[in-house]
Structure 1
Amino acid sequence: MSEFATRRVMMVDTQVRPSDVTKFPIIDAMLSVPREAYVPGDKREAAYVGENLDIGGGRVVLEARTLAKMLDALDIQPTEMVMDIGCGLGYSAAVIARLADAVVAVEEDAALAAEAQRLLSVEGVDNAAVVTGPLVKGAPKHAPYDVITIQGGVDTVPDALLTQLKEGGRIAALFMDDGVGTAKVGYKIDGRMTWRPLFNASAPVLDGFAVQRGFTL
């Protein structure tokens, strides 16, 4: 077993399983996808550290625990289509691709998007495609989606994304409030969103997902 494969097993055994993530498809996906392949070259050694991994531009790869617990709550099925917002270099899309029928990953940084698509192709992930465009706009061309994931912090989730969620669909997002974050899963029922808190975690708020606060004395 390679050194990175050993670290991958350790990541699952020390970060994922102890967080009450027991669904086999998620464990299998996290054991199978080489996290080190989807980070900048100078960050490969840090790929399996139990915290968010900075990939530049205020963006991170979410720590394994956060991603796994979100996926656990979403319970993605093999027949479902998922939109992955802010895929960075493609790690989350690669993991989700092992759970879903297809993944549409959205990335607004053109260089990141191109590299993510290249890495996914190199790794043989043929059911995930990267779309370049504003994260807040999603990928309406391929909507509606059964599930939406957001790979970073948010103050709010734009209606433009929620309208792309199928009736009965689910979305997971990490809501930040003064540096403290709560992951929540939202369900679309009768056209309205119902949110349920899951667990505490944190990540930088993505561009366009911050609430514009008025200036007051």
Structure 2
Amino acid sequence: MPASHFVAPAPDDVIQRRNMVDCQIRTVDVTDHAVIERFLEVPRDRFLPPELATFAYSDMPLKLASVGPQSEARQLLTPAVLARLIQSAAVKPSDKVLDVASGNGYSTAIFAGLAKEVVAVDADAIRADVIKTNLAAVGLGSVRVLTGPLTEGAGSDAPFDVIFINGAVESHLDQLFRQLRPGGRLVTILHGTEASGSGACSAVRYESQAGGISSLILFDAEAPVLSAFRKQAEFVF
């Protein structure tokens, strides 16, 4: 009689990650194998507070409460939007990535398996500590997490091949553009009429070229505007 082979069932979080990838990420034309594998590998629930962990693999918007005096509430990008944006950044294994306003460290962890080097920056020291703790919990404690104004990026670590902004922007990208190396890409969500002239928000990829910065609208996407990147109100007399 042949010996039987018992195959242990996959842990529940592994199954949920697979369902997230199959039902949310693959269905929006994310085909990059490395990106898909990274979303299968990184446990999103480890990057959420206990009250949100149950919803880690859903496609619903998840809000992170403010955690410190320089902090603001954040809404995490849905897995589908995040995956499409990261695929659009075309990260190579030799790249250096700046992850701006990571919020909880999840996007930083995704990039850490795609690029040679990743630096995360957040404006609030308490939130930066949360990011460090979350990254260490999944074995990524060596990733550098900085504290500073979001619009200033990480000039001492520049240039970067990819800069990723977790949230929507209206303005104040010039300093980040200067931190891109030639051919470098900045990927974010551009808010309202700044993106399309129609009031809709769009995912946008900027690229540093010899003649300046070019831009390409990628797809419709929604996210709250990060306060640091809000356009100043114009007074009309």
Provide Cα deviations, 1:67-112, integer angstroms capped at 9, x if missing partner: 1111111110011100000011100000011100111001112111
Tell me the TM-score normalised to structure 2 length: 0.87
How far off its partner does 1:126 sit? 4.7
Partner-residue secondary structure (3-state), 1:196 = strand
Residue 41 of structure 1 corresponds to: 50
Mapped partners of 1:47, 1:216: distance in 2:
44
Q: Map of 1:1-217 to 2, 5 A cutoff?
A: 1-56=10-65, 57-126=72-141, 128-177=143-192, 180-190=200-210, 192-216=212-236
Give the Cα separation in 2 of the matches to 1:48 and 1:42: 14
How many Å separate the matches in 1 of 2:211 and 2:148?
25
Please give the secondary structure, in 1, of the residue aligned with 2:231.
coil
- Give SS of 1:84's match: strand
SS in 1 for 2:225: coil
List gaps (5 residues or longer) in structure 2: 1-9, 66-71, 194-198
Q: Between Structure 1 and Structure 2, how many residues are aligned?
A: 217
TM-score after normalising by structure 1: 0.95
- Native 8 Å contact 1:51 1:64 kept in 2: no
Q: What SS does the corresponding residue of 2:87 show, helix, strand or coil?
A: helix
Deviation at 1:210, TM superposition (A): 0.7
Considering only CA atoms, is the larger Rg found in Structure 1 or Structure 2? 2
Letter in 2 for 1:186: Y
Percent identity for Structure 1 against Structure 2: 35
Give the Cα–Cα distance (whole angstroms) in 2 for the partners of residues 158 and 30 of structure 1.
28
Structure 1 gaps of 5+ residues are: none
Show CA shifts across 1:43-79 (max 9, x none). Answer: 0011111133111233122111111111111110011
Cα shift at 1:127: 5.2
Aligned AA (1:184):
V
User: Is the contact made by 2:132 and 2:141 (CA closer than 8 Å) also made in structure 1?
Assistant: no
- What CA distance in whole angstroms lies between the structure 2 residues aligned with 1:144 and 1:177? 29
